[in-house]
Amino acid sequence: MKEKVIAANFKMNKINSEIAGYFNVFLNNLNEFKNTVQKDPFADSEIIFAPPFTSLAETFRIISSYSGNISLASQNIYHENKGAYTGEISLDMIKSCGCAYAIVGHSERRNIFKEDDELISKKIKAIYCSENIVPILCVGENLKVREKGLQEDFVGKQLEKNLAPVREIVLDNPVPLVIAYEPVWAIGTGMPIKPEDGENMHKFIYKFIKSDFPEVDLRVIYGGSVTGANIETLMGMPHIDGVLVGGASLDPVSFSDICKSAVK
Ligand code: PGA
């Protein structure tokens, strides 16, 4: 995996006909920026887009013609291959649309759609048992847990439960894994984590995962009210490898600004 990961999560926003216009602006901004510098500023970075399922193919069509490190992610998957699972989307389906990543366990899936740790762990297992998809596993505590200072304990348990069934696979293998640390109280609230607090949690996640799985190719990215105003300080933290951006990724100018600042 590339050193830095800058991901956009469109959530349930944008219809197909809005995608081309978005990328027209986004890619132009990126190209203009690239032309002002000598070395490709994004050479060590990967920009990932997670549009709704309905726009995966259209997004892939557009990013495929761009010569840069831009990849596609699904916002969710179901762990079964095929069958009578109305409304669900399998790994083969997202692969056929060009996805290289899959977000799993986003707090909105956990809270609104009641996905529990067991289901999330099945999804992670399905990803590692298939090929060519990298999981972006989201974890993070709610405000009550943070106020009690129990965030490490909480996130540690989430990681333990969500990764338990893939122990054998991940143990001595350099498989890629992205953890998105997204404190629930920071998502969509305009209240991002303090960079030092984020650094502490990311350090904890690194230590936690690496002590169990020393070989894993790990990136720990932060999500929760990331904007152009805080991206540089967040990315300045040694254990913050990237960001997962929701609201501020919906506007191509603001997201291209975030991408540019992330690689400064
Ligand atoms: P936000 O969302 O940037 O709007 O806070 C982040 C996320 O949910 O991934």
Q: Residues 106, 108, 115, 199: which is the catalytic one?
A: 106
Q: What is the pLDDT at residue 4?
A: 97
58 CA from centroid of ligand 1 (Å) = 23
φ, ψ of residue 173 in degrees (nearest 5): -115, 140
72-115 pLDDT, tens per residue?
999 999 999 999 999 999 999 999 999 999 999 999 999 999 99
Pocket of ligand 1, beta carbon within 6 A: 9, 182, 187-188, 223-226, 244-248
223 CA from centroid of ligand 1 (Å) = 6
Q: What is the pLDDT at residue 171?
A: 82
Q: What share of the chain is helix, strand, coil (3-state, %, to 5)?
A: 45, 15, 35
Which of 181, 245, 251 is the pocket-test mutation for ligand 1 (most atoms within 8 Å of CB)?
245
Whether 107 and 77 have beta carbons less than 8 Å apart is answered as: no
How crowded is residue 94: how many other Cβ atoms within 10 Å of its Cβ?
Answer: 23
| CB half-sphere exposure, 83, CA atoms < 13 A | 4
- Indicate the SS3 state at residue 236: coil
Q: What is the pLDDT at residue 170?
A: 86
171 CA from centroid of ligand 1 (Å) = 30
Whether 75 and 50 have beta carbons less than 8 Å apart is answered as: yes
Mean pLDDT, 10 residues at a time, the chain of 264 residues:
96 98 97 91 96 98 93 98 98 98 98 98 96 96 97 98 92 90 98 97 97 93 98 97 98 98 94
Could you give the CA distance from residue 169 to residue 9 in angstroms, rounded to a whole number? Answer: 28
Q: What is the pLDDT at residue 80?
A: 98
Looking only at the bridges linking them, the beta strands covering 134-139 and 4-9 are unpaired
Report the candidate in 28, 19, 108, 88 with the shortest Cα–Cα distance to residue 60.
Answer: 19
Report the candidate in 228, 213, 232, 224 with the shortest Cα–Cα distance to residue 162.
Answer: 213
Look at the chain and count its residues: 264
pTM attached to this predicted model = 0.97
Q: Of all helices (H) and strands (E), which one includes residue 136?
A: strand 134-139
- 117, two tokens: 């740790």
| CB half-sphere exposure, 9, CA atoms < 13 A | 27
How crowded is residue 112: how many other Cβ atoms within 10 Å of its Cβ?
Answer: 9
Q: What is the pLDDT at residue 172?
A: 76
- Establish whether 239 is a catalytic residue: no
Q: What is the pLDDT at residue 33?
A: 94
C-alpha torsion angle, residues 101, 107, 180, 130 (rounded to 10):
-30
- Establish whether 79 is a catalytic residue: no
Q: What is the pLDDT at residue 229?
A: 97
